[in-house]
């Protein structure tokens, strides 16, 4: 079973636009950025809620921070790492994003690639700038070569002589092992997140508060899995992955999640009775009729169409936790 890394951020402390940045990057791909497998929002919403944001990222094989414990790199080794970091930063900046933490603990090896971790990506703005990323990149070069810890320049770094762009892992020097506390198997992060939701709901119930509707179902944190073929909706062709053909009709708008099929079917019947135009249906991401059961709206569609449908659903009173999810096929 393939492991993954789960990133959790408390909703009240999340940076503005954090979830939007993860969602934007989840629809893109670059060989020097860790892939975002899934992302969303979970937990009760509102002033008394304890919701959080989550992102599921591919599992790193090695970390640069551990390799640096052995001392500075040679110029050749440093050049390999910096070329990969620079390629990742240029791609992010071209798509309106900043990495915000170009540090050894956020530079990893996945297979034969050196990658920047995507968990700290944020939209470009006053608190997340291209200049800050490039300044941190220059400071990283000093760390790799044993020089000063920072550099005054804040403009994009010129490649070191002989830079070859996208390169395999550092030759002759293995990056350190991954940090065990940061990784969970795919089934583990789902169970862990559901446990957190339970604890948050328990804490809310203990506080005296005015009567309120029951918390809406939290999205099930599961890795993307094949789903039975569905009739596609008209798709606007958009290129979502660099160097790969566009196949945009993979997005779903998920409004509810249940552990019992009967409850999911009941919710579909209620939506059909009140809002028949949303065409709800029950999905089983694991296949074979296994839980969880997702109540999705509108069938398969492009990301743009899914965003429009989600706004319409919220305007009609469907849960604020309604979210977009991209399936692999």
Q: How far apart are CA 128 and CA 105, in angstroms?
A: 19
Which structure tokens are listed for 298? Answer: 């509108």
Q: Residue 259: pLDDT band by 50, 70, 90 thresholds? A: confident
pLDDT score, position 183: 41
- Mean pLDDT over 119-128 rounds to 94
Range in 62-76, 132-146, 166-180, 256-270 the model is least confident about = 166-180
The residue that leads in pLDDT, 114 or 249, is 114
Domain edge (last residue) among 178, 211, 238: 178
- Mean pLDDT over 78-90 rounds to 94
pLDDT at residue 226 greater than cutoff 80: no
Which structure tokens are listed for 132? Answer: 């800050």
Same domain, 169 and 228: no
Same domain, 161 and 77: yes
Same domain, 141 and 249: no
Same domain, 142 and 244: no
- Mean pLDDT over 185-193 rounds to 50
- Note whether residue 54 is domain-resident: no
The residue that leads in pLDDT, 121 or 229, is 121
pLDDT score, position 187: 44
pLDDT score, position 207: 44
Average pLDDT, the chain: 74
pLDDT score, position 196: 57
Q: Residue 18: pLDDT band by 50, 70, 90 thresholds? A: very high
**Element containing residue 66 per DSSP (H, E):** helix 64-68
CATH number at residue 298: 3.30.70.1070
Same domain, 154 and 249: no
- Mean pLDDT over 19-48 rounds to 86
Q: How far apart are CA 86 and CA 133, in angstroms?
A: 10
Pick the most confident of 158-167, 238-247, 261-270.
261-270
Same domain, 318 and 242: yes
* Residue that has been written with the tokens 């670059």 in this structure: 30
The residue that leads in pLDDT, 35 or 72, is 35
Q: Residue 258: pLDDT band by 50, 70, 90 thresholds? A: confident
Give, to the nearest 10 degrees, the angle between helix 75-94 and helix 130-145. Answer: 170
- Note whether residue 219 is domain-resident: no
Report DSSP letters for 189-245, one per residue.
HHHHHHHHHHHHHHHHHHS-----PPPPPPPP----------PBPP------STTS-
What are φ and ψ of residue 265, in 5° steps? Answer: -65, -35
Domain edge (last residue) among 153, 178, 203: 178
- Note whether residue 186 is domain-resident: no
Cα 222 to Cα 4, 118, 163, 168, 290: the distances in Å are 11, 19, 39, 30, 13
Domain edge (last residue) among 163, 178, 193: 178
**Terminus-to-terminus CA distance in the chain, angstroms?**
20
Domain count, the chain: 2
Q: Residue 39: pLDDT band by 50, 70, 90 thresholds? A: very high
Q: 177: number of CA atoms within 13 Å, CB side? A: 3
* Torsion over CA: 138, 29, 240, 126 (sign): negative
Q: How far apart are CA 301 and CA 230, in angstroms?
A: 10
Print the domain residue range for 267: 224-329
User: Which residues are bridge partners to 33 per DSSP?
Assistant: 116
pLDDT tens digit sequence for 282-320: 988 888 788 888 899 988 889 888 889 988 988 888 887
Q: How far apart are CA 135 and CA 88, in angstroms?
A: 15
**Element containing residue 6 per DSSP (H, E):** strand 3-10
pLDDT at residue 130 greater than cutoff 50: yes
CATH number at residue 166: 1.10.510.10
pLDDT score, position 103: 93
Same domain, 147 and 246: no
pLDDT at residue 266 greater than cutoff 60: yes
Q: DSSP label at 33?
A: B
Is the peptide bond prior to 292 cis by the omega test (within 30 degrees of 0)? yes
């Amino acid at each position: 079973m393939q492991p993954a890394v789960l990133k959790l951020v408390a909703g009240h402390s999340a940076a503005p636009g954090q979830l939007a940045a993860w969602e934007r990057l989840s629809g893109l791909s670059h060989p020097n950025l860790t892939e975002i497998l899934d992302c969303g929002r979970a937990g009760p919403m509102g002033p008394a809620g304890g919701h959080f944001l989550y992102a599921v990222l591919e599992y790193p094989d090695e970390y640069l921070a551990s390799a640096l414990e052995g001392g500075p790199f040679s110029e050749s080794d440093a050049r390999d790492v910096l070329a990969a970091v620079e390629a990742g930063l240029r791609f992010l900046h071209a798509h309106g994003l900043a990495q915000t933490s170009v540090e050894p603990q956020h530079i990893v090896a996945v297979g034969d690639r050196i990658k920047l971790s995507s968990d700290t990506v944020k939209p470009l703005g006053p608190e997340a700038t291209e200049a800050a990323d490039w300044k941190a990149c220059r400071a990283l070069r000093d760390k790799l070569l044993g020089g000063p810890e920072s550099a005054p320049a804040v403009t994009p770094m010129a490649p070191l002589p002989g830079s070859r762009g996208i390169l395999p892992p550092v030759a002759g020097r293995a990056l350190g092992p991954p940090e065990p506390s940061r990784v969970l198997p795919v089934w583990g992060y789902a169970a862990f997140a559901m446990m957190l939701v339970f604890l948050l709901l328990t804490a809310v119930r203990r506080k005296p508060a005015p009567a309120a509707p029951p918390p809406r179902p939290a999205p099930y944190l599961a890795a993307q899995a094949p789903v039975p073929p569905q009739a596609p909706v008209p798709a606007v062709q958009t290129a979502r992955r660099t160097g790969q053909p566009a196949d945009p009709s993979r997005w779903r708008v998920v409004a509810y999640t249940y552990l019992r099929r009967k409850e999911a079917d009941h919710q579909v019947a209620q939506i059909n009775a009140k809002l028949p135009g949303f065409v709800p249906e029950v999905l089983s991401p694991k296949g074979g009729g296994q839980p969880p059961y997702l109540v999705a709206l509108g069938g398969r569609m492009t990301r743009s169409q899914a965003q429009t449908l989600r706004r319409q659903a919220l305007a009609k009173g469907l849960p604020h936790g309604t979210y977009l999810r991209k399936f692999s096929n």
